[in-house]
Amino acid sequence: MNDASAAAETGTGARVPLGVIFWTFLTAGAISFGGGVVAYLREYTVSNTKWLDDEAFLDALEISQTLPGLNAVNMSVIIGDNLRGIPGAIVAVAGLMLPGVIIIMGLGAFWREQSHNPQIKAFLTGVAAAAVGLLSTVTLQLGHKQFVKPLDLTIIAATFISVSILRIPLYLVLLVIGSAAVLLYRPGAKHEKLEERARHLRERLLHRHYISLRH
Amino acid sequence: MAKLLNLTWVFMLLAILAVGGGTAVLPEMEHLTVSQFHWVTKDQFRDIYSLGQVAPGPNMLMVLLIGEKMAGAMGALVVGLAFFLPDCILTLVANRLWGHFAGSPWRTAVQHGMAPVAIGLMLAGTYAIARLSIFNLISVLIAGSIFALLLWRHINPALLVLAGGLTYVLLPHVVHLFPH
């Protein structure tokens, strides 16, 4: 809670009214089309209102990513809670979701009425295909550090194969691979040193290749 | 009533398992709602997912439509609460406890360990949507060109999603090479 009051002080210098929190998250929720809600939240809560600084925002994102649930919703809970406690968290989440809830329900009604319209079906198939392109990029960007680390890449592959190919229930995957991964990263684990050595070897290998290519 | 209870526990389970966000839980959601309980067909699941892409806010609001299809407005409400409330409460509690673990090396262990698991789950989620939507040349072209475009520069994803939908509708009329 300390960084919360600190953030509030560096910002407005007074308690942020609940109505303002609601309105701010409502705006973020209404204009964040096509995902990327977290980026909009950063713009509204860090850049525009200065409710929190980048450091506090990253702290909140760190918690959100570690916990289950959607990042944007978890972020709203944390920012709202830090500003005004539980009522703040409630109005933040309500504001974030309300526009989407109204629009998705409207779209759903339209979709049910048009369920036999081949144009609508084709449009939605195209949207899903587009989402595949989008999700691939997001996954690659989020995981750019993990994809190049042998240990992480192994965990990624094991998770993907268990879920998509072996069709193991998700709770088992999280239980087994999740705890194995945390144990591999347990405090004082030796692998960091091993990875460093592996990186060294790789660099030396590259270096050697580079030299052999030059000569 | 039994239907509402079923919806509640399935979506609460999905909420708790959603480590790494909404995409991470898509394969399990598809498995439970399509294969196991037959609440929606594969095509309907894909359509509902796409509607979530078109609406603003979190894409996963699409779960409301699964609830609505099963039990009307009450179903949407129940699914919404079941899917979003548990994680909100968990986050609230964690936010207040997080500082206590500031110095704990286990906090970093959990973060470092779970990061690649979350990435693997996102890959699995992407693969699940791909299996539902990529089955001809047009869909491959749409997904591939959007992937390439986004690697090249940042473009508002909403525009790309709409462009993907329109391409799928219009391209067969423009080019008669692809049977639709």
DSSP string, A109-120: HHHHHTTT-HHH
Up-side HSE of residue B100: CA atoms within 13 Å toward CB?
5
Instruction: Determine, yes or no, domain membership for A135.
Output: no
Structure tokens given for B18: 């959603």
The arithmetic mean of pLDDT across residues B99-108, rounded, is 78
Instruction: Determine, yes or no, domain membership for A136.
Output: no
The answer, for A165 touching chain B at a CB cutoff of 8 Å, is: no
The answer, for B146 touching chain A at a CB cutoff of 8 Å, is: yes
Same domain? For A163 and A64 the reply is: no
pLDDT at A199: 61
Same domain? For A11 and A95 the reply is: yes
- Host domain of residue A102: 2-113
Q: Which of A74, A78, A28 is nearest to A49 (CA)?
A: A28
The C-alpha atoms of residue A108 and residue A95 are separated, in whole angstroms, by 21
ipTM: 0.92
Residue type at A10 in one-letter notation: T
Please state, in angstroms and as integers, the Cα–Cα distance from residue A57 to each residue in A39, A149, A198, B104, B154, following that order.
11, 26, 34, 21, 22
Q: Which of B103, B60, B77 is nearest to B8 (CA)?
A: B77
With a pLDDT cut of 70, the percent of chain A lying above it is 81
Same domain? For A7 and A102 the reply is: yes
**In which band, very low, low, confident or very high, does the pLDDT at A191 lie, cut at 50, 70 and 90?**
low
Total number of domains in chain A: 2
* Alpha-helical runs (H) found in chain A: 2-10, 18-31, 37-42, 54-66, 71-113, 118-142, 144-147, 150-160, 170-173, 179-184, 191-214
Note the pLDDT tens digit of each residue in A9-66: 444 457 899 999 999 999 999 988 766 788 888 888 998 889 988 888 888 888 898 8
Same domain? For A79 and A22 the reply is: yes
Note the pLDDT tens digit of each residue in B42-80: 999 999 999 999 999 899 999 999 999 999 999 999 999
Structure tokens given for A128: 């899903």
Please compute Rg for chain B using Cα positions.
19
pLDDT at A210: 38
The C-alpha atoms of residue A80 and residue B91 are separated, in whole angstroms, by 11
Same domain? For A84 and A147 the reply is: no
Tally C-beta pairs within 8 A across A and B. 347
Cα B126 off chain centre by = 9
Same domain? For A23 and A106 the reply is: yes
Instruction: Determine, yes or no, domain membership for A134.
Output: no
Q: Which of B24, B19, B140, B66 is nearest to A164 (CA)?
A: B24
Q: Report the residue of chain A nearest B141, measured CA to CA.
A: A129
Identify the weakest region by mean pLDDT among A204-208, B38-42, B119-123, B169-173: A204-208
The C-alpha atoms of residue B39 and residue A6 are separated, in whole angstroms, by 48
- The pTM score is 0.87
The C-alpha atoms of residue A69 and residue B156 are separated, in whole angstroms, by 24
Q: Which residues, numbered 39 to 58 in chain B, qualify as contacts with chain A under a Cβ-Cβ cut-off of 8 Å?
A: 43, 46-58
Q: A98, A107, A125: best mutation site toward chain B, by most B Cβ within 10 Å?
A: A125
Same domain? For A13 and A85 the reply is: yes
Q: Report the residue of chain B nearest A154, measured CA to CA.
A: B116
Instruction: Determine, yes or no, domain membership for A85.
Output: yes
Instruction: Determine, yes or no, domain membership for A130.
Output: no
Instruction: Determine, yes or no, domain membership for A137.
Output: no
